[in-house]
Amino acid sequence: MNIAQAAVYIGIAKSTLYTWRTRRPGFGPRAVKAGGALRYRRSDLDAWIEAHAEALDLEPAADVVPDAERGFPAASRALDSLSRRSAPRRR
């Protein structure tokens, strides 16, 4: 695949692939230079995706205290995070 096809395949911008290649060598998927052009193997892209998949953690972390135990109802905490408190505008 060329770089545009590889970017679409893994769901990122083409510029991100270029950035990973130049500024973060070794981070992005392996590429092959063929005739002066970058090419990506589907197997290398799949391997890179698999290596960077998040681990599925179904159990809550031991240090997380539920909202109810802290005295906060869950609904009010959710609304607090959406509200924006700001000072009145000065004109």
Q: What would the pLDDT profile of 41-62 be if each residue is shown by its tens digit?
A: 999 999 999 888 877 766 666 5
Tell me the one-letter amino acid at 4: A
**Structure confidence at residue 45 (pLDDT):** 92
Tell me the one-letter amino acid at 74: A
The more confident residue out of 22 and 65 is 22
- Which pTM does this prediction carry? 0.55
**Structure confidence at residue 64 (pLDDT):** 61
Tell me the one-letter amino acid at 12: I
Q: Is 21 exposed, middle or buried (0-12, 13-18, 19+ CB in 10 A)?
A: middle
